[in-house]
Structure 1
Amino acid sequence: MTGTQRSGPPSAGRLAVAAIAALALVIVVGWSSWDPVLLVLCGTALLTVAVAALALPSAAPTVPGPAADPPVPLRIQWERAVEQHARILSAYGQYELDPAMLRSDWARADRHARNTGTDGLAETDARACERGLKLLTHADATDGPEQSAYLEQVLAVVDGLTDRGAVAPPEKLHTELAGRVQRAIEA
């Protein structure tokens, strides 16, 4: 509806006005010792206010609400979700394969080991972890065949730690190191 037409039940404010006017009408008519003419005039005025509050249309124009978006078909929703998934997967893949991230993961593991200590590891495994970190640091400072040699030694350290059960098999780390060895050889 548009214009000044009212739709639905009266608002709480209009109901309150009507209730107050009706209550005043009952009080004036029932318990008043006023002159009958004054009583009729006041009663008529209060009754008019009560009826007007309920019956007359609202003076405020009604504004239609925003149009609801039409429903999106399930196929389009599915395609949008697949596109979003592909974007996230692509960004995550870049994060996973970032060589700087490999180094930061190794350094984070080293910091954790230093904070928690290597008491849980055999002394040879603790030394192997330190050696692996040093080799990785040297590999980052070199390139070509020299870098390849350092990275192969890091792989050997990681494989040894895995074989002895000191660390869980680091599939991602192993794959990344092997890829870096191959790139260093090709460089």
Structure 2
Amino acid sequence: MSRATQIRVGTVAAAAAGVIALAATRPVSAVPLLVCFAVLLGIAAVAAAWPGVDDISVEAAQLRRDSEARAAIRTDSGRHRTPTPQSPHSQSPHSQSSHSQSSQTRRHRWDRACTHHDGVLAAYGAYELDPAMLLRYPGMWDLSAQEIMDFHDALELAGTLRTEQFTDDSICQEYIDSIAILRSAWHRADRFARSTGTSQLGDDDARDCRRALKLLDHANGTAGAERAAYLQQVISTVDRLTERGIVAKAPTIHAALEAQARKALSA
């Protein structure tokens, strides 16, 4: 117990003893006695309520602990604060290296996408450049088939997104994604055309396709005027099928067949 606390306790005890003594002896009349009681009781109350050094020290220590705790929280919060984004010029060499590697990866993927795109165009071109493919698999132009519609939609999208040179931006990624869709759509369309053949056509249309294929075979086995005659019949049949919407208009095939017929006549 501190010195101040001892004094406070002694004062309270003395005041209490005085009250008891006055109550027992009553040395004065009633009014003065009441005044003495009030004074002694007031002294005792003030001494009891007055804060001691120990109480102040406890409060000060608690305040200090609270202050240190808040400071620790602020320090810890500072350690975990999200760093301010740096400009590209202030990036570390490691960050710049990672960005460069990422760009090179996208460039590699873009190059592969272009190669796959060209492969699909070449495979599809066979249907438009080879008269035998045109006549044997007319399902490739059946726009009522979901597989064919999906392929043409994917082909148009890829063609829209393709750029002449690599650009490291969002369009590059969109183009790469579109080629994945295009390849899948092409495989389904090609499988549909090859699996259906002329089975989806009406009797007359299917018969014309088969007849034109036979005429083409005969033309490849002959020469001169006979070859030219067979080729002209193939051209006429293909023209009729094109007009009816059975096969796509193929000006390259038409021109190639006519050139072969003229060459056969002049031989």
- TM-score > 0.5, shorter chain as reference: no
Give the structure with higher Rg (CA). Answer: 2
Using the size of structure 1 for normalisation, the TM-score is 0.41
Using the size of structure 2 for normalisation, the TM-score is 0.30
